């Protein structure tokens, strides 16, 4: 019920911002949810949150007609908004509980950030590209979505706010950064795509002790690279 109330407020704010969210959009979102179910997404809370979030509001006008297709789109600065399946899959792997602290590496458009907030998480999100960070910092509060946003290097994480219950990386990393492993609480879960520019494997890491991690592999994905050093 809380999720629905929160996003009812979101819809009212969209109207105030003159962003349409009409029956056509809602119908396309429902089609998207049905598609995600057919593709294997089973977490009903993830699906419920994604059914309520207006993905088209996070896209350039040129892509609005295709907002609920399973496609990634350019958002500027060489970055993309992930496919709905990828967002749903990574979120499902996190198994988020209400009020858990979640560190997101790569704010991007803010869509994945909004999904994490809709799941009831306390979200701490880092973006390396200043333009995208500033845009998300302006836009998300207008939707009544209020994560803690940071401009910086995702490889470093946010040690000041560690440990985190969950960590999600939304760009392809060539390796799993040690600072992120250190900032994950014991029993916590990290979801991260690892590989090169040609493609990555999706991993989950469960931290069993300070030095022991249980690793699971979840198949092939393609993300933009995780960049080092903020500009």
Instruction: Please list the active-site residues.
Output: 82
Burial of 65 (0-12, 13-18, 19+ CB in 10 A): exposed
SS (H, E, C) 63-121: HHHHCCCCCCEEEECCEEECCHHHHHHHHHHHCCCCCCEEEEECCCCCHHHHHHHHCCC
DSSP state of 180: H
Strands annotated E in the chain: 73-76, 79-81, 101-105, 122-127, 148-151, 164-169, 184-196, 199-207, 213-221
Give the number of residues written for the chain. 231
Phi, psi of 230 (to 5 degrees): -70, 155
Whole-angstrom Cα distance, residue 31 to residue 39? Answer: 12
Alpha-carbon span 151 to 136, nearest angstrom: 11
Cβ proximity of 169 and 193 under 8 Å: yes
């Amino acid at each position: 019920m809380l999720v629905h109330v929160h996003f009812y407020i979101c819809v009212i704010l969209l109207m105030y911002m003159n962003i349409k969210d009409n029956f056509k959009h809602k119908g396309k979102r429902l089609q998207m949810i049905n598609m995600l179910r057919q593709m294997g997404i089973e977490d009903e809370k993830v699906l419920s949150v994604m059914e309520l979030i207006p993905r088209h509001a996070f896209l350039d006008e040129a892509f609005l007609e295709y907002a609920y297709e399973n496609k990634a789109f350019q958002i500027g600065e060489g970055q993309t908004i992930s496919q709905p399946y990828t967002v749903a899959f990574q979120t499902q792997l996190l198994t988020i509980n209400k009020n858990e602290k979640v560190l997101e590496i790569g704010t991007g458009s803010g869509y994945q950030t909004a999904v994490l907030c809709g799941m009831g998480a306390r979200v701490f999100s880092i973006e390396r590209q200043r333009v995208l960070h500033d845009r998300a910092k302006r836009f998300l509060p207008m939707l009544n979505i209020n994560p803690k946003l940071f401009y910086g290097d995702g490889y470093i994480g946010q040690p000041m706010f560690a440990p985190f219950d969950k960590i999600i990386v939304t760009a392809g990393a060539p390796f799993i950064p040690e600072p992120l492993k250190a900032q994950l609480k014991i029993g916590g879960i990290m979801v991260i795509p690892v590989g090169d520019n040609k493609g990555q494997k999706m991993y989950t890491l469960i931290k069993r002790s300070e030095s022991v991690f249980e690793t699971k592999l979840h198949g092939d994905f393609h993300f933009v690279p995780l960049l080092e050093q903020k500009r």
